[in-house]
Chain A
Amino acid sequence: MRLGELERAVMDVLWDRRTPLTVREVAESLHDRELAYTTVMTVLDRLAGKGMVERERAGRAWSYRPAASREAYIAQLMLDALDLAGERDAALVRFARSVSGTEADVLRAALAEEAADGKS
């Protein structure tokens, strides 16, 4: 299985379970894929490195949770017009022209809400 697919599978587990999970718990959720414990640990490490998951101490093990919801990532992708290609100004104009103002507001509000949730 490709690394990208593994990352995705691990994120799906974290998103679906809605609670911080240890490496072992993630590996157990993916038992049908017969992944080694160390493989799951590597994938979680990579995801943490990219800022996709956050980890905290839970007793002697680390537990992991998604840094943001699936919906927030989708909203980010949809909003990428704001910071891609190094043409921030042009991108903003283009975005405003192709999306109704309320739609952009809704997307931004969703992201802001997400950020607030992450902190609390």
Chain B
Amino acid sequence: MVYAVHFAGAVMACYLTAQVLTRSTWTYRAPRVAIVCWQALGLALGLSAIGLPLSMGLAPYGTNVSTALGRLVRGDLPPGFGLVHALQIAAALGVAGVLLGTTVTCGLRAIRAQRRHRELLNLVGRDDPAAPGALVLDHPSAAAYCLPGMRPQVVVSAGTLSLLDRAQLAAVLSHERAHADERHDLVLLPFTGLCRALPWAGWVEAARERVSLLVEMRADDKARQLHADGQLAGALLRFATAPSRVTPAGALGIADTELDARVRRLLTTGRPPRVRGALALAVTLTLVALPVSLFLS
């Protein structure tokens, strides 16, 4: 039972850490660190959520989870092992199945949609010297996005070309390429999966939105390394005031989440929050280590 208590504590700690991390704004100044923290937190939560019912079901063995599991698989049932325990173990398998299943389903769905999108792009997208390395869609709405995958493709609409000047467009293209290079689609995938698995949990949705904002900020930072200050902020502002803009989900786009926060951080240069970043990393990595050690010890 002692293991179950520990797992319950781990789930609680993950939930509380997520609450804190969702509300923190130091993360805006260190999006990459924050993204790592969120990944660790998601993993820790998944492992703990599987471990909790599993350890309850295995409690009659009075030993650690991996040893107990080994004995269960060999058909060695301890005295006092009843239907309730079997159901708890089944619940653990169910949680694991749902978490993995929804993530895989989301991934497959995205791949299918991306393939169709790519095929259409192949037919109607055109090269344009004004947007080197990107495909242009002849549509008056302003859109800029990255179709992720093994062969990522940056796409902008004709509306974007007329909306931005040359330097701003270059900054936007760098932003989209950063999404592709760092596979931000995969960073977001587990959180999208979690949202589908727990559609009633508002805090999971809040976490996903936070991670998607951090991913945009990370791409902003990459673009900022390559272009003069203010270009990206200018592009964001023009997008914000454009009559319309379209960002396909599943493709990563610019200018759709909390524009205001993004523009403001681009116009100031804050010092990276080293202490808080290190603290958050330490906490979240400990949260991953906790269920892992509970499984193995």
Contacts and interface: CB of A to CB of B under 8 A. Distances in A.
Contact of B195 (A7, A8, A87, A97): A87
A50 B117 CA distance: 12
B255 interface: yes
Interface residues of A, number: 31
Contacts of B267: none
Contacts of B124: 70, 73-74, 77
A95 to B, nearest CB: 7
B196 to A, nearest CB: 7
Contact of A98 (B123, B137, B245): B245
A98 B242 CA distance: 10
Interface centre among B114, B117, B141, B195 (most CB of A within 10 A): B141
A11 B208 CA distance: 40
A90 interface: yes
A11 B141 contact: no
A84 B247 contact: no
A98 B155 CA distance: 17
Interface in A11-40: 11
A7 B122 contact: yes
Given A11-B123, A87-B106, A87-B192, A97 B256 contact: yes
Given A8-B123, A73-B124, A78-B141, A87 B117 contact: no
A106 B150 CA distance: 33
Contacts of A81: 246-249
Interface in A88-114: 90-91, 94-95, 97-100, 103, 107
A107 B159 CA distance: 14
Interface string B201-243: 0000000100000000000000000000000000000000001
Given A77-B121, A87-B195, A99-B244, 17 more contacts: A7-B122, A11-B123, A50-B119, A70-B123, A76-B120, A81-B249, A85-B192, A85-B249, A86-B113, A87-B106, A87-B196, A87-B250, A90-B249, A98-B245, A98-B256, A99-B245, A107-B141
Interface of B: 105-106, 109-110, 113-114, 117, 119-124, 137-139, 141, 143, 155, 157, 192, 195-196, 208, 243-251, 253, 255-256
12 contacts: A74-B137, A76-B120, A77-B117, A78-B137, A78-B246, A81-B247, A85-B113, A86-B105, A87-B250, A90-B192, A95-B246, A99-B246
